Structure 1
Amino acid sequence: MSQTDTCMSFLWAKKKEQNGQFFWLPLTLHLKDTMGVMDFLWHHWVSEGQKEIIIHALSDTGEEVADTAQRLACFLAGIHDLGKCTPVFQTQKGYQNSPDLDIALLNRLEQAGLTGISSLNLDMAARKRSHHTVTGEYLLQYFGVQQDIASVIGAHHGKPVDKEEIVTKMKRYPRYCFQDETKGPCQRLWLAMQKKLLEGSLEKTGFIDTEGNPTADSLPEISETGQVLLSGLVIMADWIASNEAYFPLIPLEENEPRAIEKRLQHGMMTWREKNPVEATEVMSIPDVGEYYRERFDFPPRPFQQKVFDTIADTANPGIFILEAPMGCGKTEAALTAAEELMAEKQLDGLFFGLPTQATSNGIFPRIEDWFDKFAGAYDKFGIMKLMHGKAALNELQEELVDGVHVDEERESGVLTSQWFAGKKTAILSDAVVGTVDHFLLSALKQKHLALRHLGFSKKVVIIDEVHAYDAYMDVFLSRAVEWMGAYGIPVVLLSATLPKGIREKLIQAYLLGQGKGIRTRDKKKYASIFQSEAYPLLTYTDGGTVRQRRDFTKEEDKCVVVRRLEENHLEEMLETLLANGGVAGIIVNTVGRAQGLFERLVKVFGRDVSLLHAKFIDTDRVTKEKVLMDNIGKDAKRPRRAIVIGTQVLEQSLDIDFDVLITDLCPMDLLLQRVGRLHRHQITRPEGLSIPILYVMGQSDTLSFEEGASAIYGDYLLARTQKLLPKEIFLPRDISPLVQSVYDDTEIHWDEGVKETYKSAKKKHAINIMKKTNTAQNQFLLRKPHLKIKPDKYNLIGWLDTSITFDSEENAFAQVRDAEESIEVIMLMKYGTGYGYFGKKEDISGQVENYKVAKEIAKQTLKLSSSIARFAFGNIQKTIEWLEEYNRENLYSWQQQPWLKGSLGILFEPIDDRKTGRFYLGDVILMYNYDIGLQVFQNNKKKI
């Protein structure tokens, strides 16, 4: 064995000390493991559609290009840790071992010819700027590899370098990479090892010249989209190969495992047993009627049939925007579209995004049922994940964990695996249901973004209730759609009430991602498409062409009578409306207003009044939603009389039915969403409530609107909605015209008394939109995709260039939602010397070690807004610090429990027989009651 080979065999990739024994992983073995994992993933996990994206990103063409793509992926995996073949890495001290292991490894290198490495002194600053990702990228460029491929290596720990100078600056510090500053024996030895690792990977993957010699010149060039997906694949392969459950470290005295020939097979079999993934060739739907009966147990409606026919007839499908009424079957139409699009684009996954955790939870069982049948149709197990902050507490999600939902006799089905359950890896699951934030995050500069893009590139993307997103979120939505366009991933957007400006913007974004866009001269050609007020409506792209389908069968219109209501007449009106019984819904714009109305009306109507909003403990809110569905959901046994007060939570995805609806004024699209809960089902109504009537509160002749509504929506949209709201709404035909009339720029005649007020509101609205857009387009927004192949320009350097790192998922979500930070707390009631749940006389403090009890405690959460934190201690950070100290003193045992570790709990003093609790948080008093939720007081004044 040559000196180079001997010394190279002593290079370590990982090391640790366990029970007094030394373990390590040779660098050459780890690179071999990772290349093997990559080869397995390419053949068993990567979809044919993903392969096509990478293939089209290569400069190579011809019959062998598919083989080139696979070899390139394996080459990158086999060389990803080249930067560990440097003195700056090999002299690093381990965090899981005593100095003896560090010394033993260095002594072997010293004896193999690296004289002086044991005493090489490199300061911490040097190590920080010479991370092995940076040195790896530098060495590849040093040996002639182009920047496009080299930058993938620099990104394999989740973040590419921000600037090219970070890499080129390494030439100033030869000791970091070569030990000697002159061309001495140590430098020659390091160069020989580095070159041999590179050439070995090139040779194994077939990148050789005409004479059979390995050469970097044989590597293809690759565009940015391909670089991103290959970067994600390298991260995935590296994580699997680095997991000791699959690829264990070996005793220090061994230079390779005893059964090295079986190591890869055993490692991947072990991973696959827990993660039975397999890329699936999805077939086109031959008979949509039979398909609907198999998947949904009913035949398709004419509307659903036409949606399917349109998608099936599209030669090169891209983005589809489906605008249709609430309750017409958009979900089933979208799922059918997804399966057909999977077949067309050779994908095998789905992402279904909704506005909130509650709406995601609501649709999860329906998607799970569909995906279970989908997996059964292909005799496979599919990995499915509910993806939001509270997903682990969802009962159905818990059933799927570790295959509990799959019995021994089943050969197919749905499960959630441990490896795919992590926050970074969940998006790699076959089917993901979650909040839209996860899709928006694909346009946010954040570490491991390539892994998120890899997950989305395997899926058809469905986003529901697109109308619910504001100007700030629209910026991230458009950029995310643009990147999906660059990959050619189909996107299906669903909306009941979509402004036509958003329709045009999203179509444009997808086409721009494909490098096409709509040229100025073509805008007139597409004007009728983008300005159309037909309803239902399907607008879509076929290659670079925009098309539209409008010939849907019109549903029979329902006439909703609209009346103005002054709030001071509310009790009197309800007495009249409900004289013969019935269910009245009252939807207002803020929690404070909802609570205030509840306290007013309960004095008159007693227990007939209930309340639902976002300031309830999560478990209480779930219970209340279930009670609501049981009482006024589909096929429910309805109460004789009920008044349900709520906020926007009532307008989203709850299949409930009111006999009469009273609402605060809000923008037209949201108003129509609320109307969707009025006479929703075909049932017999009480006398006097047979006609659907909408009562609107909060209107103002002076355009001076209620403070909360004004703060949330702005006076401009409220004024236009009020002015354009007719006395009768015919649904569904009026939905699109009413929404478009509010959101377009057509002038409205105003009386002299309010003309200036309206102008001021309009100007403020325009400034606010511009401000939100500019804020969203700050350093956090991902740049536009580049499709051209130019290695020295379009590479991953600077792709995630930002000075801010998001230390939590919630913090990242706040960036794409323009939301203030909040503090999630677990809320319990004191019980003697211990504590328990609100309303229950049981001390559970001694049962925290019980898994089920700890998990139930973890569900008792509620978020405290940053405004509460400001009232309490001046800012959110001081409030968190105070809560952390409070928890150390009162709930220290929680930190020993997996479900509770890192959580912040507060214990309320019981009032009124444990139904109400009080907690002093700095300068505010928190009051919680099951009926009314959280209230905040300061100086005897209610703050929310």
Structure 2
Amino acid sequence: MLNTWSPPAQSCWGKTNESGGWLPVVQHLEDAAGIMAEVWRLQPQSIRSLLADTLGGERAAQTFVCFLAGIHDVGKISADFAYKARFPRPDGTSTSYLCDQMERHGFVITKPEHPIPHGAVGQCHTQAWLLNRYPDVPRARRCARNIASIVGGHHGMNPTDGDVKEYGLSLAREDHLWKATRDEVLNTMAAHTGAEEYLPKWMSTSIPIQVQVLSEALVIMADWIASSESLFPYDVTEQTPDRVRRAATRLHLPHPWQLPPASNDAADIFRRSFPSIPGGAPNAMQASAVEAAEAMTEPGLLVIEAPMGQGKTEAALMCAEVLARKFGLGGVFFGLPTMATSNPMFGRVREWLDAVPATESSSISLAHSKAGLNEEYQQLMPWNAHMDVYDDSAGTQREASAIVHEWFLGRKRAILADHVVGTIDQALFTGLKAKHVVLRHLGLASKVVIIDEVHAADVYMREYLKVVLEWLGAYRTPVILMSATLPPAQRHELALAYAKGRHGRNAQVVLTTTDEYPIVTTVSDGVAQQGTSTSAPGRQIVVRSMGDSLDELISLIEDKMADGGCIGIIRDTVSRAQETFDALESRLDCEVVLVHSRFLAPQRARREADLVRRLGRSGGDRPHRIVVVGTQVLEQSLDVDFDLLVSDIAPMDLLLQRIGRLHRHDRQRPVSLREATCLVTGIDDWRDDGPAFSRGVDSVYGEDALLRTAALLNNLPGGTATVPADIPRLVREAYSEPFTWPTKWAARGDEASMKARSEHGEAENRAKTFRLAHPYVASSLMKGLTDVSTLDPENSSGHARVRDSEDSIEVIVIQESGSGGHRLPSGIGEFSGAELPLFGAPEGALARAVASCTVSLPRSVSNPWDIDQTIAELEAAPIDLSSWQTSPWLRGQLVLVLDAEGNSTLLGRPIHYDSKRGLTVEPRLDKGDPA
């Protein structure tokens, strides 16, 4: 500890432990300031440069964050905080002696009537200290507020302006010794860290909001590390520099991803990044994307639009390497629409990282709510992982390029790892008012951010996506967006959002309306669009409608599959898919497979992996005859190739995504299926004013979008579309305003469009309730950023969320066994049919297997008006599961208990589960529900 602290300062307690040990607050502040130097050293150059540009150089920026870390808990030197030692502990012991020793040094400690949080005390006092020290500096109050708010928000949330005024009045009546001791801390830390030299400049600079946010995030990191008793023990036997060195060595955080100089030629990058593709070379789109990234003179936005299956993922990873090397980013974030698509991408990104040359190992995390159940991720855990990987090219062992570090395993810390693969939600949370949101900002700002299937974000999600792009623009963070079917209006609004963040609210983006495809758009120092010729010849796709009769469908399949074939059928709802599967399986003499979202998670993952293996690019095990019935899970990120596609009608961009699974790869096909054909169903009848959609179809997608698709399909010349050439035109026309309706459809179409616009407006307004302020509006952490606390966005019970959907109920499924006990369902892998313990909670790998056996209940039993009763029925399970609350894997989970035949009931509805059909919920016939 510094020798300059007064006895009163040394008497102030900052931390205690269960055994009665304690740590002076000034020692904790020294620890935090010391470890901050290490945290700063491990930041990528992009983050250090952003702060340095404002604060007066890199040395000044490091001093700034070390000073803030060194004063962040100054508010604990207050009667309100000190009195907490008087509270009795749960175990009956007392720490009142901490107050006694402070009182012996002159502090007056009384029970506060309205306790002030210590972060708010620190913010108020720091602001007053700065104003007293620099009273004549122009804009002093604003500058002091911006600096002090970083202290006030170190627990992830700032007090409001009103709070600060109220607290200031209370602190004005405070005993002098408290103020004098806090002044001592501020004066000492200013001298100790070297901040005295820079404070005049900082007090004459309106610290930009992006610097405030990142500084607060760094202070939180340093505080969390310095608060670990295993790293910084309370029995202080060493000088602070030795404590810090020992803690840093033990923690051993990896350095940020750093790439050595290398060729940025697309062909060279492709060869070294994807060695598993022998003789591989980039196609025209990939080369164009790399060329656009290399041409950027400052970090920017890159939008890659290209056909399904043309290698957008490889293009994005190649561009990420170029941008990271060029602008000093420390890793990549790869966001995808769902957990199911994130899991396989995690493996692909790891394989890519092993191939890309880097100076040393970096950290990686899988970020979604079920990451702990991913087997590949589990094997990388510090207690499981072997840190060597086999290097095929050299035939030797070398250290893994990306490791899972224990410090990043916390839910709020996962985003801080160098490389993060997860759902798009993890990026959208950055635009949500929530506690500790600044950590998400630091996590994204330090990486090249890649978001796949960006068209899948609906109106509500795009409100968050746009504000996230604004903030990333303000941070000078490169962003790569990918889509095969992005409407021009959405491309423009996303590009404009990034430009506004980079250049201010008055930024303009002018994009040319073009049907060139593929196309790469950049928003950097200017706006550029570059179309490329596709590397593969266009395919003629016959698109025509057919009736919704299952008899007609079966006759068609029997005719078309006479010589074999692989047929895909995509339904808009699970119930339609199950109904179709039942009819086909009972009447067709071939393999029929069903895939949808209501299978147990491990069964769905195994099913999808098997389909990709058998129907993917390699096709080594391609079946002679198979029919795959599925829902939208077949639409995204699954590399499956059908000889014939039957699809329910859907919005045009999504229908084209589905068509991307038709004749996807070059291969020999049965004679009757050599003409690529998509048959569109989901229409019961054609009326004068347009199609009458089948039951349930227009409840998934609005009538406006479906009518537009139907109108455009009717106008296809010769009933054919050329893919990929027609994709941009069809998507552009589907989302054009106003839409040109067939004459007899006009009244119905206009009404549907008006309803859609109203619903879009309502969704935008709902999103704005919890959406973060724009970076050009939020001048301070207290203004629209961390001044409002919402529930944890990753907690399904929270009201603030980035998807505009009703709460669904996820349940663990277990089944009665013949022995009178209970077991896990079959077909889930290693623990298929495993018996569960009669007493106590499952442990270890079995507990993880139980936790993975989840499925979401359909809306019919989770409507807002039914959800409470459904939860009550689930909690009243026929077996006592109270012991499961002791398991970190099973705590708080709802359980659906099936009988030995897979049956149960909820809300009087019969429920059945089997590994062929998944979960089904039957109507309540006794209540008059339609059969």
TM-score, normalised to structure 1, is: 0.89
Shift in Å, 1:412: 4.5
Quick one: distance in 1 between partners of 2:251 and 2:930?
53
Matched, 1:552 2:533: yes
Query: 2:494 matched to which residue of 1?
Result: 506
Query: 1:296 matched to which residue of 2?
Result: 274
Q: Deviations over 1:262-303 (max 9, x none)?
A: 21111111111xx33346365453443232112102222232
Match of 2:915 among 918, 922, 930: 930
Quick one: distance in 1 between partners of 2:909 and 2:674?
47
Matched, 1:639 2:623: yes
Matched, 1:605 2:601: no
Shift in Å, 1:925: 2.8
Quick one: distance in 2 between partners of 1:265 and 1:14?
21
Secondary structure of 2:816's match?
Answer: strand
Quick one: distance in 2 between partners of 1:666 and 1:538?
26
Quick one: distance in 1 between partners of 2:338 and 2:434?
22
When residues 168 and 678 of structure 1 are mapped into structure 2, their CA distance, relative to the original with a 3 A threshold, is same
- Point out the more displaced range, 407-416 or 769-778: 407-416
Quick one: distance in 2 between partners of 1:359 and 1:110?
60
When residues 549 and 943 of structure 1 are mapped into structure 2, their CA distance, relative to the original with a 3 A threshold, is farther
Quick one: distance in 2 between partners of 1:428 and 1:336?
22
Matched, 1:718 2:716: no
When residues 244 and 885 of structure 1 are mapped into structure 2, their CA distance, relative to the original with a 3 A threshold, is farther
Q: Any conservation in 2 of the 1:866–1:875 contact (CA below 8 Å)?
A: no
Query: 1:27 matched to which residue of 2?
Result: 25
The code of the aligned residue for 2:537 comes to E
Query: 2:77 matched to which residue of 1?
Result: 85
Match of 1:400 among 373, 376, 380: 380
Quick one: distance in 1 between partners of 2:196 and 2:587?
86
Quick one: distance in 2 between partners of 1:938 and 1:732?
43
Query: 1:7 matched to which residue of 2?
Result: 8
Matched, 1:668 2:640: no
Query: 1:825 matched to which residue of 2?
Result: 811
Matches within 5 A, 1:108-257: 108-114=101-107, 116-117=108-109, 120-123=110-113, 126-127=114-115, 130-144=116-130, 146-161=144-159, 163-174=160-171, 178=174, 187-208=175-196, 221-250=206-235, 256-257=236-237
Matched, 1:372 2:354: yes
Shift in Å, 1:380: 1.1
Shift in Å, 1:51: 1.2
Shift in Å, 1:257: 2.8
Query: 2:755 matched to which residue of 1?
Result: 764
Match of 1:74 among 53, 60, 66: 66
Secondary structure of 2:15's match?
Answer: strand
Quick one: distance in 2 between partners of 1:844 and 1:368?
35
Matched, 1:277 2:267: no
Quick one: distance in 1 between partners of 2:630 and 2:293?
38
Query: 1:836 matched to which residue of 2?
Result: 823
Quick one: distance in 1 between partners of 2:425 and 2:594?
27
Shift in Å, 1:484: 0.5
TM-score, normalised to structure 2, is: 0.91
Quick one: distance in 1 between partners of 2:924 and 2:570?
29
Quick one: distance in 2 between partners of 1:282 and 1:877?
57
The code of the aligned residue for 2:886 comes to Q
When residues 600 and 217 of structure 1 are mapped into structure 2, their CA distance, relative to the original with a 3 A threshold, is closer
Secondary structure of 2:857's match?
Answer: strand
Quick one: distance in 2 between partners of 1:729 and 1:866?
36
Q: Deviations over 1:761-804 (max 9, x none)?
A: 111111111111122122x010100389xxxx544344234464
Q: Any conservation in 1 of the 2:331–2:419 contact (CA below 8 Å)?
A: yes
Q: Deviations over 1:400-450 (max 9, x none)?
A: 211714139634422111110111000001111111011111111111000
Shift in Å, 1:666: 0.6
Matched, 1:489 2:490: no
- Point out the more displaced range, 89-98 or 684-693: 89-98
The code of the aligned residue for 1:425 comes to R
Shift in Å, 1:734: 0.6
Q: Any conservation in 2 of the 1:3–1:113 contact (CA below 8 Å)?
A: no
Quick one: distance in 1 between partners of 2:834 and 2:528?
62
Q: Any conservation in 2 of the 1:148–1:222 contact (CA below 8 Å)?
A: yes
When residues 75 and 496 of structure 1 are mapped into structure 2, their CA distance, relative to the original with a 3 A threshold, is same
Quick one: distance in 2 between partners of 1:693 and 1:215?
72
Q: Deviations over 1:362-405 (max 9, x none)?
A: 2221111111223xx22311111111122111121112211714
The code of the aligned residue for 2:870 comes to T
Matches within 5 A, 1:791-940: 794-802=780-788, 804-806=790-792, 808-811=794-797, 815-831=801-817, 832-839=819-826, 842-845=834-837, 848-865=841-858, 867-870=860-863, 874-886=865-877, 890-911=880-901, 917-940=902-925
Q: Any conservation in 2 of the 1:223–1:795 contact (CA below 8 Å)?
A: no
Shift in Å, 1:812: 5.7
When residues 49 and 707 of structure 1 are mapped into structure 2, their CA distance, relative to the original with a 3 A threshold, is same
Quick one: distance in 1 between partners of 2:493 and 2:4?
62
When residues 55 and 260 of structure 1 are mapped into structure 2, their CA distance, relative to the original with a 3 A threshold, is closer
Q: Percent identity?
A: 34
Query: 2:363 matched to which residue of 1?
Result: 383
Quick one: distance in 2 between partners of 1:398 and 1:218?
48
Quick one: distance in 2 between partners of 1:248 and 1:757?
72
Quick one: distance in 2 between partners of 1:286 and 1:77?
39
Query: 2:722 matched to which residue of 1?
Result: 730
When residues 283 and 809 of structure 1 are mapped into structure 2, their CA distance, relative to the original with a 3 A threshold, is farther
Q: Any conservation in 2 of the 1:498–1:669 contact (CA below 8 Å)?
A: yes
Shift in Å, 1:808: 4.2
The code of the aligned residue for 2:184 comes to K
Query: 2:40 matched to which residue of 1?
Result: 42
Secondary structure of 2:629's match?
Answer: strand
Query: 2:546 matched to which residue of 1?
Result: 565
Shift in Å, 1:203: 0.8
Shift in Å, 1:600: 1.6
Matched, 1:341 2:337: no
When residues 556 and 240 of structure 1 are mapped into structure 2, their CA distance, relative to the original with a 3 A threshold, is same
Gapped runs of 5+ residues in structure 1? 179-186, 251-255, 912-916
Matched, 1:704 2:704: no
Matches within 5 A, 1:613-652: 613-636=596-619, 637-652=621-636
Q: Any conservation in 2 of the 1:476–1:776 contact (CA below 8 Å)?
A: yes
Matched, 1:536 2:518: yes
> Aligned residue pairs: how many?
885
Shift in Å, 1:514: 1.3
- Point out the more displaced range, 256-265 or 849-858: 256-265
- Point out the more displaced range, 824-833 or 795-804: 795-804
Quick one: distance in 2 between partners of 1:842 and 1:585?
34
Matches within 5 A, 1:337-486: 337-374=319-356, 377-402=357-382, 404-407=385-388, 410-486=398-474
Quick one: distance in 2 between partners of 1:165 and 1:842?
58
Secondary structure of 2:900's match?
Answer: strand
Gapped runs of 5+ residues in structure 2? 132-143, 390-396, 827-831
When residues 89 and 848 of structure 1 are mapped into structure 2, their CA distance, relative to the original with a 3 A threshold, is closer
Query: 1:914 matched to which residue of 2?
Result: none
Quick one: distance in 1 between partners of 2:4 and 2:465?
56
Shift in Å, 1:110: 1.5
Q: Any conservation in 2 of the 1:651–1:673 contact (CA below 8 Å)?
A: yes
RMSD, matched Cα:
2.5
Shift in Å, 1:323: 0.6
Shift in Å, 1:258: 4.7
Shift in Å, 1:197: 0.2
